[in-house]
Structure 1
Amino acid sequence: MTGAGKLDRRLRFEARQEIDDGHGSPVAGDWLPRFTVWGKRQFLRGGETVLAARLESRQPAILTIRDSRQAREITADWRVVDTGDKRIYNIRENPKLSDNRGFLEMLVEAGVAT
């Protein structure tokens, strides 16, 4: 169970800005901050996939945040910046409601290209 005391990481969610390439087609621009919330980070351990990822300096984790209107806008093409240790995570799946339905959980991965 996740309580407010376990939400100990300050997480900034960012989405890519779409800009015009000069020929009428949108292209990915800079990362723009969308919102910042308190969350919980749980690194994944065990399993062949996770162990292989660590050998490649990738670190998968599960991030948990409170469910909100803003949080429901998050998609797998966003990224998350932990404002404490400045680690950048790519979101690997759209957030899902947790078992108690008051929180959203998402698989993220640090150490990979954005």
Structure 2
Amino acid sequence: MIGAGELDRRIRIQHAVNLNDPDYNEEIPTWIDDAIVWAKMEFHKSEESEASARRYAEMGLYFTIRYRSDLTAEHRLAYKNGSGVEEYYEIVGRPRELGRRQFLKVQARLIE
């Protein structure tokens, strides 16, 4: 199983909300942090596809975190990479439980 030392990355779990701008009376979509957690990051695939005569590269990852019952595909994950650039990942599918509520394995795709 996973040891605590393998959870060596900090990620933020975020959910979307609409805030009301009082000056223009319109809703502004924004993301708010739910939690900051330790995670293990594993690359699982990298694909290229062509759409409308453009090439797109898609990078997929697995993040393994301690078990949480509130994480859904409606959330996104924010991770600051080794260069200090913040990257955002959408959750693909439902997180998979590992052990008896010990860890969650979350499949994620980079949002570009």
The alignment yields a C-alpha RMSD, in angstroms, of 2.3
Instruction: Quote the residue 2:48 is aligned against.
Output: 52
Per the normalisation by structure 1, the TM-score is 0.73
2:73 paired residue among 76, 79, 83? 76
Instruction: For residues 48-78 of structure 1, give each alpha carbon's deviation from its aligned partner in whole angstroms, at most 9, with x where no partner exists.
Output: xx4336x6222111110001xxx22111121
Instruction: Quote the residue 2:107 is aligned against.
Output: 107
Instruction: For residues 76-95 of structure 1, give each alpha carbon's deviation from its aligned partner in whole angstroms, at most 9, with x where no partner exists.
Output: 12110113442211111221
Per the normalisation by structure 2, the TM-score is 0.74
Work out the CA distance in 1 between the residues paired with 2:79 and 2:15: 15
1:81-92, aligned counterparts within 5 Å?
81-85=78-82, 86-92=86-92
- Residues 18 and 39 of structure 1, relative CA distance in 2, 3 Å threshold: same
Instruction: For residues 13-39 of structure 1, give each alpha carbon's deviation from its aligned partner in whole angstroms, at most 9, with x where no partner exists.
Output: 10001456xxxxxx7720011110000
Instruction: Give the structure with the higher percent strand.
Output: 2
Instruction: Quote the residue 2:23 is aligned against.
Output: none
- SS of structure 1 residue aligned to 2:57: coil
- Residues 43 and 28 of structure 1, relative CA distance in 2, 3 Å threshold: farther
Letter in 1 for 2:96: K
- Residues 43 and 78 of structure 1, relative CA distance in 2, 3 Å threshold: same
Larger-Rg structure: 2
Instruction: Quote the residue 1:29 is aligned against.
Output: 29
User: Structure 2, unaligned stretches of length 5 or more?
Assistant: 21-26, 50-54
Letter in 1 for 2:105: E
Whether 1:39 and 2:39 are equivalent positions in the alignment is yes
